[in-house]
Structure 1
Amino acid sequence: MTDRYEGSFYGRRKGKPLSPRREALMETELPRLGLDLNAPAPADLRDLFEAEVKSVCLEVGFGGGEHLLHRARTNPDIGFIGIEPFVGSMAKAVTAVVGEGMKNVRLYDDDAINVLDWLPEASLDLAYQLYPDPWPKKRHWKRRFINEQNLDRYARALKPGCEFRFASDIDTYVDWTLRHCRDHAAFAWTAETASDWKTPWDGWPGTRYEAKAIREGRVGRYLTFLRL
C-alpha cells in the first residue's frame, strides 16, 4: 500500500448550525485571527502574533480546542497556531480567543498540509497531533494524516532538536505512527520506559476525545519524536 493520498485527511466539516453570535464572530474575527496563506510567511513566525512570544507551536486538528486553549492560556509567551477544518470546533475556538483577549493564537480552518507547506523551513519549536481521526477501517487507512509525505512536511517545518507529539487511543494508529516515524530518517522516538508513552505530557489538560476513549475502555498513548 502506498502512502500517497491526494484527497482530504479529514471527514465532514459541518455539524449543527452555529448560534447567531458564533456565526458573526466567524465572519468578523476569523479573518483577523486566520493565517493568510496568499501572503509569504514571515521569516520569523513570532511576528505572526500580537503578543511578544519566545517560541511557536503548531497543533494540527485541535478538535474541541481543550488542549490548544489550555496551552495558550497557561503559556502567554508562546505562540500557538491551531488548525481545525470542522466549523463548530473552529467557532468555539474563535469565541474563546476573542472573549478572553488572547494575543498568542492564530488559526486556520482548512487542510493542514497547506499550512505545513507554507511555513518556513525549521520555523516551529513544537508540533502536536492529538487524537486525530483514526480512519479505523483498513480501506480508509490511506486517509490517515501520518504518512511519509506528511512526516516530510513536519520534518521540514520543525527545528532540529524539537519535538513532534502524537496521541491516540487506537492501537492500530499508534502502531502505524510508530512504524512510519521509525522508518523516517528525520525522527527518533524518545521513549525509554513504558511510562514515557503511557503518561501524558506535563500540563496535559485532557481532551473530549480522550474522555470518550476512557469511557469506552480505551487507553491513550502519548508518543514523542525528536526531530533529528
Structure 2
Amino acid sequence: MAGPDDESARRQQADLRSFGRRRGRKATARQRTLLDDLLPRVAIVPEQVAGLTANALPAAVFGTAVAEVWLEIGFGGGEHLLWQAHEHPDVGLIGCEPFEDGVVKVLSAMDGNGPKNIRLLADDVRPLLRALPAASLSRVFILFPDPWPKRRHAKRRLIDPAFVADLARVMRPGGQLRFATDIGDYARTALLSLNGNENFIWRAASPEDWRFRSEDWPGTRYEAKASREGRRSYYFRFCRR
C-alpha cells in the first residue's frame, strides 16, 4: 500500500501546468534588481511552512502576529492583492503568481514605503497548498485564472475536485473563498467541483450575487479587458463549513 509520501509524490508528478507563459518582455535593470534583491526578502516557499501549526504560521511568514492570513492565487497585475493589503494592514497576504511581469509589478509597489504585509510565491501554488498547515487561511481569492478555453486543454484548469479538496484542508471553518471568471464553461465546471465538496457552501441568494462583485472586491485589468471584449464576468463566494 502506498503511504502518504508516495501519494504526495504521485500527485506532484500528475500536476499539469495550469498557467501559460512565465515571462513577457526582457526584464529591465530595475526589474532585475527587484527580482534579485527584494523578492528573496518577501518570498514564501513550501519548505518554509511545512510542519508549522496554523497558530505558528503568521509569525513564521510575516514576522509578526497578523490577525489573519489570506491567499490570492494568480494575482496577475497585482491590483486586487495590493488593494487588499492597503485596506487590511492587520492581515497577512500571500500572493502566488508564476508570471514574472506580474511579480515585478507587485515588487515595485512594495519597494520603499509600500505594503509590508505581503509575501510572494513566484511559482505554482499547489506545492504550497500541500505544505500549509490545516485550517490556516481565512480567505482565498482565485480571480480570473487561466481559462484554457479549448476543450482539449480543459484538464489544465486549476479548479477541479482534487484542488478543491486541498483548499478545504487549508481553510478555516467560516473562511471565505472568492472565485471569478469570464468564461461561462469554466464557471460551470468550477461550480460543479465546489458544490461537489461538502466542506463548501455557495452563498448566492439570487442571480445578482454572482453577476456583480461587492465594494470590497476591486476590479482588475483582466476583468476590464473581458468587459471591453464583450464577455460577462461571474463572481462566486463560498464559505468553508
TM norm structure 1:
0.94
CA contact (8 A) 2:77 2:102 kept: yes
- The residue that corresponds to 1:36 in the other structure is 45
Query: For residue 201 of structure 1, what is the aligned residue in structure 2?
Result: 214
Q: Distance in 1 between matches of 2:236 and 2:156?
A: 20
Unaligned runs of 5+ in 1: none
> Do structure 1's residue 210 and structure 2's residue 223 form an aligned pair?
yes
Q: Distance in 1 between matches of 2:49 and 2:92?
A: 18
The AA in structure 1 aligned to 2:174 is G
In the alignment, what sits opposite 1:226?
239
- Residue 46 of structure 2 aligns to a residue whose secondary structure is coil
1:181 and 1:187 in contact (8 A); partners too: yes
Q: Distance in 2 between matches of 1:203 and 1:98?
A: 25
Match of 1:156 among 144, 169, 184: 169
Question: Unaligned stretches of 5+ in structure 2?
Answer: 1-10
Instruction: Give 4+ residue runs of structure 1 displaced > 4 Å after superposition.
Output: none
CA 1:140/1:52 → structure 2, altered by over 3 Å: closer, same or farther?
same
Which deviates more, 32-41 or 112-121?
A: 32-41
Give the structure 1 partner of residue 23 of structure 2.
Answer: 14
TM-superposed deviation, 1:144? 0.3
Q: What are the equivalent positions in structure 2 for 1:88-167 lying under 5 Å apart?
A: 88-167=101-180
Percent of matched pairs sharing the same residue: 43
Determine the C-alpha separation between the residues in 2 that align with 1:176 and 1:99.
Answer: 42
2:87 partner amino acid:
T
CA contact (8 A) 1:50 1:104 kept: no
Question: Structure 2 length as normaliser, TM-score?
Answer: 0.89
- C-alpha distance in 2 between matches for 1:117 and 1:28: 27
Which residue is equivalent to 1:46?
58
Looking at structure 2, the residues matched to 40 and 162 of structure 1 have their Cα atoms a distance apart, in angstroms, of: 20
Check conservation: 2:74, 2:98, Cα contact below 8 A: yes
**CA distance in structure 2 between the partners assigned to 1:117 and 1:203 by the alignment:** 28
Give the whole-Å Cα distance in 2 for the aligned partners of 1:84 and 1:183: 27
| Offset, 1:51 | 5.2
Moved more, 51-60 or 203-212: 51-60
Maintained 8 Å contact 1:50/1:103:
no
Native 8 Å contact 2:146 2:157 kept in 1: yes
Task: Say which is worse superposed, 189-198 or 5-14, in terms of deviation.
Answer: 5-14
SS in 2 for 1:67: helix
Q: What count of residue pairs does the alignment treat as equivalent?
A: 225
The reply on whether 1:26 has 2:41 as its aligned counterpart is no
Is 1:192–2:201 an aligned residue pair?
no
What letter matches 1:46 in structure 2? P
For residue 34 of structure 2, give the secondary structure of its aligned residue in structure 1. Answer: helix
Q: CA deviation at 1:113?
A: 0.2
